[in-house]
Structure 1
Amino acid sequence: MKKKLSPAKKRLLYALIGGSLFWHTPVVVYAEDIGQAAAGEAAAGQHEFALEGVEVTANREKLPPAYAGGQVARGGNLGVLGNKDFMDTPFNVTSYTAQGIENQQAATLYDVLISDPSVRFTTPAGQANENYKIRGLDVNYQHLYFNGMMGLAPYHRVPVEFFERVEVLKGPSSFLYGGVSTSVGGAINLVPKRAGEEDTTNFTANYTSSSHLGGHIDIGRRFGKNREWGIRFNGVYADGDTETDGQSRERRLGSLGVDYRHDRWRLSLDAYGSQEYFDNGLISMYQLTSGNVKAPDGSTNMYKGTSGAARNNAVLFKGEYDIRDNLTAYAGFGKMSVAATGLINGNHVMIVNPDGTGFARNVFKQYFWSDNTSSELGLRGAYQTGSVKHQLVLSANFLDIDYGNNWAQGTPPINPLTGKRDGYPTNIYNPISLGGYFNGVPWPKRGNKTKVSDLSSYLLADTLSFNEDKVQLTLGVRRQNVKTTSYKYANQMATTGARTTTVYDASANTPMVGLIVKPWGESVALYANYIEALSEGTQVADIKYDNYGEVLAPYKTKQQEFGVKWDQGNFANTLAFFQINMPSYTTAGNIYSYDGKQKNRGIEWNTFGSVAKNLRLLGGIAYTDGELVRSNTPANNGNTPFGVPKWTMNAGLEWDTPWNQDLTLTLRAVCTSNQYINNDNTIKIPSWVRYDVGARYKTVINKVPVTYRLSVENVFDKHYWAGNFANEGYATLGGPRTFKLSATMQL
């Protein structure tokens, strides 16, 4: 039985068909639209108004080239606006290249984004999940973008070996990427690798302390009479002990990217599967009772005896067709399946005192799953009215998510914090093993559907270019719709039973204005933007709260930003000033909920490129002033929101030694100022600085180019609290000293 289109999707289809007809008969339509006055002027010969054909030269599959030094690219993907040079982008964007990713020996997003001063991690490197903050606001793995589309990026820990670019856009971005997202601090878009004009066959063998060994194969070929077909395969396998005390991890990745380009067609198909298996413990987050609790060694394992696994499978098809030289239709469709078992979420140590005593909390055998379907459809056209160039976009985006979880628990002692049997006494400086508490506890099966999200949006945007592109103004509006249903079962572990249902159904028009002005040629660009986003309410994910599983109401976020970009050809800078307003969160009466408004204002300086012939710099400084306003707790008004450090700084240097141009030495410093981890501003964790050093050497062995890489992260083995977890009162433990060694052969 065929599924009928909804009224909203029918309206979209009619609009797109009408748009196509509009573009095929432009003069007639525009003569009607511009009115009798303009028509009269044209008839009198006073002014000439013509709709001129403009060739579309930028497609969304063609990436901006690498910038000098090769660590970052000249631009990135702005979603519906396509790929743009950073000097033509009214946002602060940094796009990390595959070359930079390889030279950092990156395995996950944590390894890539450690170089960005506006990004800080809220879960440590050894955790099963990767969560982040951008501009002091949470971004988690559920709200990344895969090739510009939402809901298809890997959950939990994100492998990066099959990505050509990792693009970071600061600020609310669901307007651009076509979704409704809780990630209001920024967006991270993951661009898969494509076969290049030259054949690629690379193999990398790698080692990470304490004894984690792996290999990565990367093969790319183009075929056909005009090399119109391309295939790119990436495979990864790694296994062994990690730097976390007693923990071992196995990871697998397989990805395939196929593309076709011929005449007016551009098609691509991306598929990947990734798995990770953890044995003997996962890294924890710590609830501190004061700021006097010293951080334990970064290799501390609070959950020995536990295990877990995570799996991601996804496929994405995208296509573009040039209907005319100045009109392109595009579409995308993808599906994703996620499953995770073990101690994947909720693993906290509660009430940690200065002597290290506390309680291991929420120790469950868990099963999480999610089934996602994402689609997009749109038209992108270029035309000219007089001396003004236009790039018009009409699009629609849809994302459907079914999510569920289930768990099984042993019989722990009574936790004095809750009066329930959910806590195990321990000490962060001498942790216990929890394996014995799981004896006889069966693994849970795929359980109830606990949340359903239906997200959709429709966009119309136009970029107007004046004075030979020295002034570019983007105007747009997106109609965003959020429908979220959450289910809370009487017995969460049952597959059937009584349940309570919460439904939120909200819509909003969210505008965007972006401006670029180049008053002194192409080397300097002044920019500004105003953007709004409608966000799906956060689902309360911590079992300790009485409203666990509830989805909070959708909310709106607003950003104002302006700045300047300076491009010297080999060295570039971006200076940004921003303000973001969004709801704040708090805990009252063991209920997790909104609490007034949070306002983050700040200044960012990002820099990249070659500062000298053999010297490259990547990094910057960010200052963020967070403030709570209109709080439900009057005493908190004016306080700093939890987890927002005022200063963050990153500086990475690469130096090609003068005595051997094939030898490169690297140094990186990562610095974060002190920060509060509660809205009462009574608990503060201290500032920290971490240093990383490294080297790489290029040579040729039996006519095979080989690159050796060595790095030491946290070279002085500093013990520190890295930052705040997503919930109030929790701190994240910084990672230990870690050695990485690899050899890449270009076969």
Structure 2
Amino acid sequence: MELAFAASAAMYGGAALAQAANGAATAPGEPAAAETLPSVTVTDHRGAVDEAPPPAPGGQVGSGARMGILGNAPVMDTPFSVTSYTAQAIENDQARSVADVVAMDPSVRMASARSNINEDIIIRGFQVPSGDFALNGVFGLTPYWRAPLEAVERVEIIKGPSAALFGMTPSGSVGGVVNLVPKRTGSEPVTRITASMSSKSVLGGHVDIGRRFGPDDAFGIRVNAMHREGDTRIRGQSTRESLGSVGLDYRGRALRASLDLLWQKERIDNVVRQFQAGPTLTAIPRAPDNTLPYPGYGWSDGRHGSALAKVEYDITDHVTAYAAYGRRKLNWGAVAANPVILNTAGDYSYFGGWQRMTVESESLDAGLRAAFSTGPVGHSLALGVTRLDLEQQLGFYTGFPPGTSNLYAGLLPVTPSIAGIHNPLRPMNDSKLSSVALADTLSFMNDRLLVTLGLRRQKVEGQSYNFTTGLPSGARYDESETTPFAGVVFKLRPDISLYASYVEGLSQGETAPTSAAITNPGEVLPPYISKQKEIGAKFDLDNRMMATVSLFELTKPSAGISGSTFGVFGEQRNRGVEATLAGEVARGVRLLGGVTYMDGKITKAATAQLEGKKPIGVPEWQLNLGAEWDTPFVPGLTLTGRVIHTASTAVNATNTLSIPAWNRIDAGVRYAMKVGGKPVTLRLNVENLLDKNYWGTATAGYLFVGSPRTFSLSASVDL
């Protein structure tokens, strides 16, 4: 097993048997069946090394998720807030990237425009760049700017800092972990062909093929290929995307292994950029037309390739060794401009540049897991080591002439040419993140009480460079830190879990500026330690709906200049309440989403006037609630809808600028039928049904315009 967790295995097996029993139950009003029970075949077959836990009732979320060094664990057994969105939810939403999936989660918001160079998100008020996503539990391997989903079985979102559980993320983000679980072939073969179209004229096709073969179907292969291109709803914008993936796995009795190969190519013309608020701006102007590509020119062109090999071996019935090794390479270039809003009339200036970047990374994850007992106490012990080596090169040309425009003018300037411009690549950053972790989950009272204790020793090495010269910038970074974590789960009943946890995150400390005005120029600060405390309750209601209610407090230090000294003088604290639910509330009616209240505050600041202010990009209220209804009057017809609400949000540190609250309504319909004996599913989704113009914001204060009304239509057939 991925986790030598006897309790977890029992729960998964029990869930499967319970679902089988429910499926065979007598419907109300029907006569009782004869005293004949369905046959049950019991085997000792073990799943793949990285097989996702089974879906929860309703099929929209998983019953478990990967919890770093702890491995796969049932949601009801984890002392953290976690949601695992399934392939079914991804397909029914016609999600193209993680940006579509986060529209289902009340604690997550976009931190950039959908068709920007990158798609970053905000979890519990702290930004998580797409480069910090994990692939099958390993950092440094996902597509760097945007994560497509055609090859993904699950999108797992674990709330809060991750360093203690997963190791430090590449850029040190602490809001949470997004883990992408690759598709695998189950017991049934898969041959699915999907044709799609989205407004304005983006046409696409996706082929998904999976087979098992060999003795006892031990070998599996899953192949996905996708291409789409055309003009979007954004004026003058076009996109061209391609993806290919191969997932191989071997499921033996003692040995299990997998290999994932992923290739992605993406080109966007007329990318949408984020705005900065000018220093003299007194108020944020009303949101402009959402179909304009501000500032109106540029392109982004990237190619990504990664490979991840994993293996695990059962040394004994109670001890399992595992190892994973992966590599990634990105080649990317973009011509884009950064606009600055100057006044309430919507005038803005912009300055453009040509960026080139390569990113190469190498990841290692290995360890041991053991299950044993000491008297009445059960143990699930885990020992793991990780290492991530990352090298970035950058070329940056800024010689394009600046310009001015207006938010409401609708002008599209000509994209500058890069012909004949010399823009060499030079070193930008090298970093090495290595760690060793030890954790033990102790089980008491026949697994009713689970206590998890662990710690991780993390070493952070890095060197920054002046990319205009290629020479080192400041001293080499070399620091270490130990981060603990602890969690308690008490099962009040089999369907109610109470939990509490404490976990720490880690971010690389900054280097003091080299300036005569600074008393400690060039000083390298130790890593920042972020802390999260959380208590909550989880409910498995009648084996039909899962719900979580949690209270959390997340704090993160920050650096700045106090007097003439550069140091860690700031701290942001986000306290909140989060309630989520997923599953069937009535026959044929499913809900997915929830609500989050956050009280964000700057508790410490280098400038005393900023203490007590609201953090940038942290609204008080966020609500996401989606519903599906399988109509009784037309079998196979399902109506869907979703409402998203985000409260007013501060845009600058002094809280003198803010964006108003915004609401978005999405709607859809799908129809499942059979044509020639083959299952066919038609889907129509509409994002931003009422075509509202609204501002979004990042935690750095950047503004972006929400996406316009977009229709997505697809037809899938299983051959």
* TM-score under structure 1 length normalisation: 0.85
The residue number in structure 2 matching 1:325 is 317
Q: 1:377: Cα distance to partner?
A: 1.2
Taking the aligned partners of 1:138 and 1:642, their CA distance within structure 2 comes to 11
SS of structure 2 residue aligned to 1:138: strand
Asked whether 1:455 is paired with 2:455, we answer: no
Query: For 1:75-474, what aligned pairs fall within 5 Å after superposition?
Result: 75-181=64-170, 182-287=172-277, 289-343=281-335, 347-361=337-351, 363-412=352-401, 423-435=402-414, 437-438=416-417, 440=419, 442=421, 444-445=423-424, 447-474=425-452
Q: 1:534: Cα distance to partner?
A: 1.9
Q: 1:539: Cα distance to partner?
A: 9.8
Taking the aligned partners of 2:651 and 2:472, their CA distance within structure 1 comes to 34
Taking the aligned partners of 1:713 and 1:690, their CA distance within structure 2 comes to 8
Which amino acid letter does the alignment assign opposite residue 175 of structure 1?
A: A
The residue number in structure 1 matching 2:35 is none
The residue number in structure 1 matching 2:12 is none
The residue number in structure 2 matching 1:482 is 460
Structure 2 residue corresponding to 1:502, chosen from 472, 475, 479: 475
Asked whether 1:623 is paired with 2:593, we answer: no
Q: 1:553: Cα distance to partner?
A: 5.5
CA contact (8 A) 1:212 1:240 kept: yes
1:42-101 residue CA offsets vs partner (Å, 9 max, x unmatched): xxxxxxxxxxxxx99887523221111111111111121111111001100000000110
Taking the aligned partners of 2:119 and 2:270, their CA distance within structure 1 comes to 19
1:580-639 residue CA offsets vs partner (Å, 9 max, x unmatched): 1112467999x9996510011111001110000010000000011111122011111111
SS of structure 1 residue aligned to 2:95: coil
1:267-302 residue CA offsets vs partner (Å, 9 max, x unmatched): 000010001011234333342624340111111112
Asked whether 1:686 is paired with 2:660, we answer: yes
The residue number in structure 2 matching 1:720 is 694
Number of aligned pairs?
663
SS of structure 2 residue aligned to 1:80: helix
Asked whether 1:576 is paired with 2:587, we answer: no
SS of structure 2 residue aligned to 1:294: coil
CA contact (8 A) 2:295 2:339 kept: no
SS of structure 1 residue aligned to 2:614: coil
**Percent same amino acid among aligned pairs?**
41
Which amino acid letter does the alignment assign opposite residue 109 of structure 2?
A: R
Cα separation, partners in 2 of 1:514 and 1:697, compared to 1, 3 Å:
same
Taking the aligned partners of 1:663 and 1:63, their CA distance within structure 2 comes to 28
Cα separation, partners in 2 of 1:437 and 1:225, compared to 1, 3 Å:
closer
1:153-212 residue CA offsets vs partner (Å, 9 max, x unmatched): 111011011000000000001221233452211000000001111110001101111111
1:318-355 residue CA offsets vs partner (Å, 9 max, x unmatched): 000000000000000000001210136xx421133211
Taking the aligned partners of 1:586 and 1:108, their CA distance within structure 2 comes to 35
Cα separation, partners in 2 of 1:734 and 1:538, compared to 1, 3 Å:
farther
CA contact (8 A) 1:663 1:695 kept: yes
Cα separation, partners in 2 of 1:62 and 1:606, compared to 1, 3 Å:
same
Cα separation, partners in 2 of 1:405 and 1:529, compared to 1, 3 Å:
same
Taking the aligned partners of 2:209 and 2:562, their CA distance within structure 1 comes to 54
CA contact (8 A) 2:686 2:709 kept: yes
Cα separation, partners in 2 of 1:604 and 1:524, compared to 1, 3 Å:
same
Over aligned residues, Cα RMSD in angstroms? 2.3
Structure 2 residue corresponding to 1:566, chosen from 522, 539, 555: 539
Which amino acid letter does the alignment assign opposite residue 253 of structure 2?
A: D
Structure 1 gaps of 5+ residues are 1-54, 413-422, 541-545
* TM-score under structure 2 length normalisation: 0.89
Query: For 1:590-601, what aligned pairs fall within 5 Å after superposition?
Result: 596-601=570-575
Taking the aligned partners of 1:311 and 1:59, their CA distance within structure 2 comes to 29
SS of structure 1 residue aligned to 2:504: strand
Q: 1:442: Cα distance to partner?
A: 2.7
The residue number in structure 2 matching 1:698 is 672
Which amino acid letter does the alignment assign opposite residue 548 of structure 2?
A: T
The residue number in structure 2 matching 1:735 is 707
Q: Larger deviation: 350-359 or 301-310? A: 301-310
Taking the aligned partners of 1:582 and 1:500, their CA distance within structure 2 comes to 26
The residue number in structure 1 matching 2:486 is 513
Taking the aligned partners of 2:168 and 2:367, their CA distance within structure 1 comes to 14
1:632-671 residue CA offsets vs partner (Å, 9 max, x unmatched): 1111111111110010000000001110120000010010
1:719-742 residue CA offsets vs partner (Å, 9 max, x unmatched): 1012x22423x2121111111100
Taking the aligned partners of 2:473 and 2:662, their CA distance within structure 1 comes to 45
Taking the aligned partners of 1:440 and 1:177, their CA distance within structure 2 comes to 44
1:386-426 residue CA offsets vs partner (Å, 9 max, x unmatched): 011000001100000001211223341xxxxxxxxxx3211
SS of structure 1 residue aligned to 2:609: helix
Taking the aligned partners of 2:114 and 2:304, their CA distance within structure 1 comes to 19
CA contact (8 A) 1:194 1:232 kept: yes
CA contact (8 A) 2:52 2:181 kept: no
SS of structure 2 residue aligned to 1:666: strand
Which amino acid letter does the alignment assign opposite residue 144 of structure 1?
A: F
Asked whether 1:634 is paired with 2:626, we answer: no
CA contact (8 A) 2:49 2:256 kept: no
Q: 1:499: Cα distance to partner?
A: 4.8
SS of structure 1 residue aligned to 2:104: coil
Taking the aligned partners of 1:740 and 1:320, their CA distance within structure 2 comes to 41
